[in-house]
Amino acid sequence: MISPTLARHRREFKPSGGEPDPPESLFVRRPLQFDRSLGRNRLNRLCTGIAGLFAACAVLPLFLVLVYVLIRGGRLISLGLFTQLPPAPGLEGGGIGNAILGTLMVTLIASLIAVPIGVGGGIYLTEYSQRGWFARFVSFGNDVLAGVPSIICGVFVYGVVVATRIFFNQSYSAVAGGIALATLMLPTVIKTTDEGLKLVPQELRWGAYGVGASKFVTVMRITVPAAFTPIATGIVLGIARAAGETAPLIFTALFSPFWPDGIFNPIATMSVLIFNFAIMPYEAQNELAWAASFVLVIMILLANLLARWLSSLTRT
């Protein structure tokens, strides 16, 4: 039986042919058309163009830096660049093999220090702190540390580690450089771990508690594996930031023109090599600085691409 309301709609929307339209025709959407004569549409186009211009201006410096470094340093890429030592000042040839190896060593030391502490700190803030006064203090201190200039961290480690010769009576060393870079990595690792654990549904924790799992087992076997992707993303971003720092390494790792001789001696890194060679009055050293800049930019770019790929796994 047809309801009175539907019958009234059929009578009101009856076409000239006499046959009533089905009620579904009332809900057919007509395509929207852009009317250029309306002022609000012209204003919308203007604002969209301005926003696109500002977005292009924001990306333009990155594009120009990549292109310029590619032109100046990319043409010098060769096998010898990665396997040879830097030449003496004023001489041609050579490479940056010691700086590449030193950068990897210092970054590895920083990761071994910062990753366990950072992940543990993030787990504490999310799972154990209950957001008390100490947790708020740690979170606030972490935010402040993230904004501290890197040179301040370098001076701090210089005063605590280098000047005191605390490691086997050695001053400048790869370990001191790793500690300085670890200080810079900590805020990123702690923050991303904290935020990643907050994304884990509370129902997973309740389910683990319901089958008799302890707090520690729930965190280690359920919560942390579920948040592995954002935690790994934060670690990669922290490593990418640390690998490109220069000021902390000048005060801690210094520089060496030779191959690394242990972790308790001065060591070459690409960022410090770029700084030293760029200010030299020799064309050969200036060219090596550009080549090192290209290699360092590519390494940081690959690290950021890896971080974006890891973050995309969360969405999928």
Mean pLDDT of the chain: 85
Distance CA 44, CA 251 (A): 53
For 27, other C-beta atoms within 10 Å of its C-beta total 6
Mean local confidence (pLDDT), 290-303: 89
pLDDT at res. 311: 73
For 170, phi and psi rounded to 5 degrees? Answer: -100, 145
pLDDT at res. 309: 83
> How many angstroms from the chain centroid is the CA of residue 84?
31
Higher pLDDT, 22 or 295: 295
Per-residue confidence at 189, pLDDT binned at 50, 70, 90?
very high
**Residues with Cβ within 8 Å of residue 247, at least 6 apart in sequence:** 149, 150, 151, 154
pLDDT at res. 13: 46
For the cut 50, the answer to whether the pLDDT of residue 313 exceeds it is yes
Q: What is the pLDDT of residues 91-128, one digit of tens each?
A: 888 889 999 999 999 999 999 999 999 999 999 998 88
CATH of 99-315 given 3.50.30.30, 1.20.210.10, 3.40.50.300, 1.10.3720.10: 1.10.3720.10
The residue among 78, 76, 97 whose CA lies nearest residue 86 is 97
pTM: 0.80
Q: What is the pLDDT of residues 151-186, one digit of tens each?
A: 999 999 999 999 999 888 888 999 999 999 999 999
Q: What is the pLDDT of residues 135-159, one digit of tens each?
A: 889 889 999 998 889 999 999 999 9
